[in-house]
């Protein structure tokens, strides 16, 4: 089997996660996490639509991880993202991290917003 080195460019993948934290660039980030081409951003969780709306020009899709289990977004958040033209996919946080990393490695325009497990 041939192995290929993956390059993420300037963007940072999720290196790992655990109870209440994510590891990005070798450091632990506690609580909710948002990653984009700008790097790690402060995100106030499901009540913070504006941080995600600001990513509309930088990402074709935002993977939103809702924690341990997939859950629907609050109506206000999904409506705000839709009216701003932000593409998003909802999944549990581990799946969102993996999907983000794979598509980031392919050079896609993606962002990630995840709640801790």
Q: What is the pLDDT of residue 3?
A: 56
The DSSP code sequence of 29-48 is: EES-EEEETTEEE---GGG-
Q: What is the pLDDT of residue 29?
A: 94
Taking residues 85-92, what's their average pLDDT? Answer: 97
pLDDT digits (tens, 9 = 90+) for 49-62: 999 999 999 999 99
CA distance 92 to 95: 6
**Domain covering 32-114 assigned CATH 3.40.1260.10 in the classification:** no
CA distance 15 to 29: 11
Tokens of 70: 């997939």
The number of residues making up the chain comes to: 117
pLDDT digits (tens, 9 = 90+) for 20-52: 999 998 999 999 999 998 899 889 999 999 999
pLDDT at 65 over 60: yes
Tokens of 64: 């939103």
Bridge partners of 91, per DSSP, are 65
CA distance 71 to 73: 6
pLDDT at 4 over 90: no
């Amino acid at each position: 089997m041939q192995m290929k080195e993956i390059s993420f460019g300037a963007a940072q993948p999720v290196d790992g996660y655990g109870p209440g934290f994510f590891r990005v660039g070798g450091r632990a980030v506690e609580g909710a996490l948002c990653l984009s081409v700008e790097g790690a951003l402060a995100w106030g969780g499901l009540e913070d639509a504006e941080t995600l709306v600001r990513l509309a020009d930088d990402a074709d899709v935002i993977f939103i991880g809702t924690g341990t289990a997939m859950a629907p977004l609050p109506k206000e958040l999904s409506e705000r993202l839709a009216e701003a033209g932000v593409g998003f996919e909802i999944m549990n946080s581990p799946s969102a991290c993996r999907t983000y990393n794979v598509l980031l490695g392919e050079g896609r325009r993606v962002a990630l917003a995840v709640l801790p497990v």
